[in-house]
Structure 1
């Protein structure tokens, strides 16, 4: 074998090895990144480790609060996926969940054609009785729950709601309110929480509650 061919062969081997190395070093973009987890429970006045996550809202299902076991249980009990939705929106959401969020349409609307106008396989719009009953039961349960929640909120005055935010109950003095407020501000301050957005949102709620109670005190 000639020297040139040996060198060329060596180059090919080196290139192959380099290619394998490049493939090994290639970032695996399909692997999801895990967001940083807070080191403590995000419930005010709780210093236990926050190892249980809970979605922030219906629109933020991939963003989480982190709680200890007791507080994630409390959060889950109070969680309402349908909060802020009308009864019609709730029923539409429940029906969409039954069909896996896939689009549906009545058979007679396009006849034997799909929404594109092209012939398609026949589609059935029949809903089994047990599914229909489940839909009706779920809708009625949501309606009852919404009414009870509305009654409960209407019974609470703005002052009572503000006290609940600060985890206080009447009777309470303004000095006690001020002390509690300062404690929560220190707990939720951005410098303490590393700019955590959830802590900032909680701090806004606390500030609003304190402003409400302070306004009542000066009347």
Structure 2
């Protein structure tokens, strides 16, 4: 088309649409607040990827009291921290072939039988091997307590050598003693009551009772 064409003047360029006004920020989700909620705050455990929307002032207030582990016992927190090291994925001992370990030829029963047979044929004039055929170096040793386990025993007022029956009996005694209904809602007794329950749950999960 030539510039002096009679059709040139009739061409009209399409006007560009004006950009829509930026969408207004949603209202702050804090009760009674009408300011824009432009700041995200995590909802909490088991709701990863979900967020509340607060204004700047209220997101600071929310973050001050936020606790991801709220409601979990010491034992559950310790287990979560241990699993977090591996990204909460299952792990196996280095150098162990799982399929070989689980095969019938490598069962624990066969291993014990082979070990027993070997010790039966072995002479032991100096008594280095126990009477049941297990080397003394492999005899079960006293279990070393973890920090939280030792704290749980201390909370219940028991020693690490306490039996399952003693732990349960002591737990029932302390729960009855510090129950809020038996202490008129005393705050100190309520805290003690909660600590006793958490200590018992930790020891139960650890296999002490």
With normalisation by structure 2, the TM-score equals: 0.35
Report the structure, 1 or 2, having the larger helix content: 1
Q: Which is higher, the Rg of structure 1 or of structure 2? A: 2
